[in-house]
Amino acid sequence: MRNVLVWALLTISTVLTANARPSEDSGAAKQLFEKALKRQQHKEYEQAIALYRKAIELVPSDAMYAHAIGSAFQAKGDIETAIGWYRRAVELAPGNEDYPRILGAAKEVRLMRGCAMKFNNRNLPEAIRMYEQALALKPNASSWTSLAGAYQANGQFQKAREAYEKALGLEPLREGENKYFIAVLDENDGQGAKALEEYCEYIRSRPKGHHASAAKKRIRVLRSKVNAVLRLPIGPEIDQSH
């Protein structure tokens, strides 16, 4: 999300310097806009929004002002209002290529927040549906990992394993913790020897990984007795933090 907001601010600054203002734009609106932008850069979002509103009152047809106030709302956590203003920017400047991308990124943020909320509220089928929807819009490793966690919590272990693998295939370094989850799933499936190899591979690739301690414990157990596999609980208590 931070990258989206940085992108939005850079877009504002670029358009400000590159585009000539239309004749209807008053100097007062431009001054308000510039003051608002400085407030936003200092994370004074309420003050920035108030200034953007004044500029918009003077020049309601300016897409850049609509986009800017949307970015301020998003920065302060109001994604719904932000999306409304981003939509307005797209309507006002249909030829601009940046505004639709920013609108799409904001919708993705909203969707992923909704997914996490459903997951945390134990509504796993709805969380899975929303994660699948997010992936249909924009396939990425992080969403595959999140979907895998929802599948795993819902007891859909084979689908979870496949999703972890897809995330690893897209970003093997960033999603390296998934090697641990894959080992856990194979151990749960009764494949002690295979899980042992995977735990060892996880430790070799991430000796200080988030799950290194747990992996080492399972290695010790399985080396002592390869059939002493651990069965998984079902529920959204899975720790996917990296």
Fold matches, 2-109 and 122-224: yes
**The whole model's pTM is what?**
0.66
Residue 5, pLDDT score: 52
Residue 18, pLDDT score: 41
Which CATH number does 2-109 carry? Answer: 1.25.40.10
Residue 17, pLDDT score: 42
Residue 129: exposed, middle, or buried by beta-carbon count in 10 A (0-12, 13-18, 19+)? middle
217 band by pLDDT with thresholds 50, 70 and 90 = very high
The mean pLDDT value for 189-206 works out to 96
Report the chain's mean pLDDT, rounded to a whole number: 87
Task: Say how far apart CA 232 and CA 220 lie, in whole Å.
Answer: 18
Residue 9, pLDDT score: 53
Q: Which fold has domain 122-224?
A: 1.25.40
108 band by pLDDT with thresholds 50, 70 and 90 = confident
pLDDT higher than threshold 90 for residue 125: yes
Please report, for the chain, the start and end positions of each structural domain, with discontinuous segments joined by +: 2-109, 122-224
Residue 6, pLDDT score: 47
Residue 8: exposed, middle, or buried by beta-carbon count in 10 A (0-12, 13-18, 19+)? buried
The mean pLDDT value for 91-96 works out to 95
The mean pLDDT value for 189-194 works out to 96
Q: Which residue has the tokens 């856990």?
A: 184
